[in-house]
Structure 1
Amino acid sequence: MIEQMNRYVGIESLIPTVGIFALSLYFYYSRTHKKNYPPGPKGLPVLGCVTQLGEHPSNTLTALSKKYGNVFSIQIGMNNYVILNDYESIHEALLKKNDDFSGRPDVLLLRQMGQGHGIIFRDHGPEWKSQKKFAVACLRELGVGKKRLEDLILAEVNYLAEDIESRGRKAFNSQKLFVKATGNIVCELLLGSRMPYNNETYCRLVDCLDTTFFKKTTTPSVLALIVAPIVRFLPGFRDVYGSFCKDLDKTFEILHELLENHKNNFDDADIRDFVDTFLNQMKSKSNKDPVFKELQIFQLMRELFVAGSVNISVMLRWSILCFANHPEHQEKIKREVDEVIGEGVPSMKHREDMPYTCAFLQEILRHRTLVPLSMPHKTTNDTSFGGYEIPKDTPVLTNLWAVQHDPEHFADPEEFRPDRFLDEDGKFVQDSHVIPFSFGPRYCMGDQMAKIELFLFLTSIVQRFNVIAGSKHHLPSLNDGVFGVVYVPPDFEVRFESR
Structure 2
Amino acid sequence: MEEIINFEGDEFVKFLHTFQDKPIDFKKYFYWLTSNIISKVALGKRYDFGDPKFHELLEVLSKLFGDVDDAPMIAVINLFPSASRVPPFSMAMKRFDKRQETVLKYLQQYIDEHKVKFDPDNINDFIDAFLYENQFGRKMNTSFTERQLRAYCRDLFVAGSETSSSTLAWCFAFFLNYPEYAKIIEQEVIDVIGTDKPSMAHREHMPMTCAFIQEVMRNKTLAPLSVTHLTSETTELMGFVIPKGIKVIPNLDGAHMDPNTWPNPEVFNPRRHIDENGKFMKSNKIIPFSVGARFCLGKSLAKAEIFIFFTKLVQHFKIKSAKDYLPPLDREMMSIVLSPRECEVVLEAIFYDSFYDN
- TM normalised by structure 2 equals 0.93
Deviation at 1:390, TM superposition (A): 2.2
SS of 1:482's partner is: strand
Equivalent residue for 2:125, pick from 270, 273, 278: 273
Q: Distance in 2 between matches of 1:352 and 1:226?
A: 39
What letter matches 1:397 in structure 2?
A: I
Matches within 5 A, 1:124-139: none
Deviation at 1:336, TM superposition (A): 0.2
Is 1:365 paired with 2:217? yes
> 2:165 maps to what in 1?
313
Q: Distance in 2 between matches of 1:480 and 1:394?
A: 30
Superposed CA RMSD: 1.7
Deviation at 1:217, TM superposition (A): 2.7
Matches within 5 A, 1:362-441: 362-441=214-293
- Provide Cα deviations, 1:108-142, integer angstroms capped at 9, x if missing partner: xxxxxxxxxxxxxxxxxxxxxxxxxxxxxxxxxxx
Maintained 8 Å contact 1:190/1:275: yes
- Provide Cα deviations, 1:424-454, integer angstroms capped at 9, x if missing partner: 1111011121011111111101111111111
> 1:228 maps to what in 2?
80
Maintained 8 Å contact 1:330/1:462: no
Deviation at 1:234, TM superposition (A): 4.3
> 1:494 maps to what in 2?
345
Matches within 5 A, 1:221-260: 221-260=73-112
Deviation at 1:388, TM superposition (A): 2.7
Deviation at 1:323, TM superposition (A): 2.0
Maintained 8 Å contact 2:169/2:340: yes
- Provide Cα deviations, 1:209-243, integer angstroms capped at 9, x if missing partner: 21123333332221111111233344442332222
Is 1:288 paired with 2:140? yes
> 1:457 maps to what in 2?
309
Equivalent residue for 2:45, pick from 190, 193, 216: 193
Maintained 8 Å contact 1:359/1:422: yes
Maintained 8 Å contact 2:328/2:341: no
Unpaired runs of 5+ residues, structure 2, are 351-358
> 2:186 maps to what in 1?
334
CA distance 1:243–1:153, change in 2 (3 Å)? same
- Provide Cα deviations, 1:21-47, integer angstroms capped at 9, x if missing partner: xxxxxxxxxxxxxxxxxxxxxxxxxxx
- Provide Cα deviations, 1:179-205, integer angstroms capped at 9, x if missing partner: 121122222222223122233332122
Maintained 8 Å contact 1:346/1:460: yes
What letter matches 1:480 in structure 2?
A: R
Q: Distance in 2 between matches of 1:232 and 1:285?
A: 38
What letter matches 1:156 in structure 2?
A: E
Q: Distance in 2 between matches of 1:294 and 1:463?
A: 43
Maintained 8 Å contact 1:201/1:254: no
> 1:485 maps to what in 2?
336
What letter matches 1:237 in structure 2?
A: F
> 1:99 maps to what in 2?
none
Maintained 8 Å contact 2:203/2:210: yes
What letter matches 2:23 in structure 1?
A: A
- Provide Cα deviations, 1:458-486, integer angstroms capped at 9, x if missing partner: 1101001122111245x442233225311
Equivalent residue for 2:8, pick from 142, 146, 156: 156
Equivalent residue for 2:294, pick from 429, 442, 454: 442
Maintained 8 Å contact 1:176/1:206: no
- Provide Cα deviations, 1:301-342, integer angstroms capped at 9, x if missing partner: 111222222111110011111123223322211110001111
Maintained 8 Å contact 2:215/2:268: yes
Q: Distance in 1 between matches of 2:73 and 2:9?
A: 34
Q: Distance in 1 between matches of 2:137 and 2:258?
A: 53
- TM normalised by structure 1 equals 0.67
Q: Distance in 1 between matches of 2:236 and 2:36?
A: 45
> 1:80 maps to what in 2?
none
Q: Distance in 1 between matches of 2:319 and 2:91?
A: 37
Unpaired runs of 5+ residues, structure 1, are 1-148
SS of 1:437's partner is: coil
Maintained 8 Å contact 2:321/2:327: no
Deviation at 1:385, TM superposition (A): 2.7
CA distance 1:471–1:269, change in 2 (3 Å)? same
Deviation at 1:285, TM superposition (A): 7.4
SS of 1:409's partner is: coil
Maintained 8 Å contact 1:216/1:482: no
> 2:174 maps to what in 1?
322
Q: Distance in 2 between matches of 1:281 and 1:333?
A: 45
SS of 1:426's partner is: coil
Which of 313-322 and 178-187 deviates more? Answer: 178-187
What letter matches 1:488 in structure 2?
A: S
What letter matches 1:330 in structure 2?
A: A
Q: Distance in 2 between matches of 1:479 and 1:285?
A: 49
